Chain A
Amino acid sequence: LSREERYGFDLVRSLGALDGMVTGEGTLYPLLSRLQKDGRVASSWRDSDAGGPPRKYYAITTAGRRALHDFTEEWGRFRDNVDKILVEGTT
């Protein structure tokens, strides 16, 4: 979402396609609504162009961007430390 807003179906399908990331795609909807309650994403319903059902679009908020930034840094540190241990453990 940091690059562009996406609608729920599209977002959930692409996350579900990542190997080993989610067990059930449906479990992502509660996460999205939790993010929305926390003010990290905002949503709006919009008609789809092909006359299909309306779509709920999700966009990241400023608070969401900040949280993403913090997490990205924290995750990087965590990953580096795990990598270090794994490498040193095998040599």
Chain B
Amino acid sequence: MNTTRLHPIAEEYLNRLDAAAGVLPDRDREDLVNELRGHLATGLRDGAPDAEVLNMLDDLGSPAEIVAAAREAESGSQLPRTPEGTGTPGASASPWGTLEVLAVLGLTLGTFVVPVVGPLAGLIFAWASPRWNRTEKIVATLLAILPVVALGLGAIAFMASGPSSPVPVSPTPQHILGIL
């Protein structure tokens, strides 16, 4: 795209980036190095002092860091965030991890143990879960919210009926006797 030679320190950085990007597909590797070259070409004026170049490279982060971000971006949310070898094998295969267990506990037991705060915490754990997909999270949210909504509607209905028109209750023997 733009092949002008940059400051030697910047060129050396791009070489290291290119080497580190060897793990990426060829096109991605080329795009990435081009983007970074463009970034440095835009940010560095001709004859910039070494310190300025080093500062700019510091802001960019190490080649290893950038390549790690590229691998993560490409794998999307399909893979665990931990690099291969360090994560628990098959960790993402099971829908149950600490977060998920906490979410369910918060949404169920939490309702009785610490009302309001418990289920809210459960919701947060549910949404923070890397294992559950969006639909599952929405279902969890609806399950948590529905009782509250039902309670709210009930309360509104009760208030609307007002003191002048007593809420109809199921007839008791006393009522029937009174009517008679």
B28 touches A33 (CB 8 A): yes
- Looking at B83-91, B115-123, B153-161, B162-170, the stretch in contact with chain A turns out to be B115-123
Contact A26 B65 (CB under 8 A): yes
CB-based contact A25/B35 at 8 Å: no
Residues of A within 8 A of B (CB): 7-9, 12-13, 16, 23-27, 29-34, 45, 48, 52-56, 78, 81-82, 84-85, 88-89
A-contact bits for B101-120, CB 8 A (1 contact / 0 none): 00000000000000011001
Which residue of the partner chain A has the closest CB to B28?
A33
Which has the most chain A C-beta neighbours within 10 Å: B4, B35, B72, B117?
B35
Is there contact, CB below 8 Å, between A34 and B124? no
Mark B residues whose CB is within 8 Å of A.
1-2, 4, 28, 31-32, 35-36, 38-39, 41-43, 59-62, 65-66, 68-70, 72-74, 76, 116-117, 120-121, 123-124, 127
Known: A29-B66, A33-B28, A88-B116; 16 extra A-B contacts, CB below 8 A, are A8-B39, A9-B42, A26-B66, A26-B69, A27-B61, A27-B65, A27-B68, A33-B31, A33-B73, A34-B74, A53-B42, A54-B38, A55-B38, A56-B38, A81-B124, A85-B120
Known pairs A16-B59, A31-B73, A81-B124; A89 contacts B1 (CB<8 A) = no
User: Does B73 lie within 8 Å of A24, measured CB to CB?
Assistant: no
> What secondary structure prevails in chain A residues at the interface with B?
helix
Cα-based distance from A30 to B68 in the complex (angstroms): 9
A45 partner residues in chain B, CB cutoff 8 A? 1
Question: Cα distance A82–B123 when bound, in Å?
Answer: 9
* Residues of the B chain whose Cβ atoms lie less than 8 Å from the Cβ of A30: 32, 66, 69-70, 72-74
Residues of A with C-beta under 8 A to B124: 78, 81-82, 85
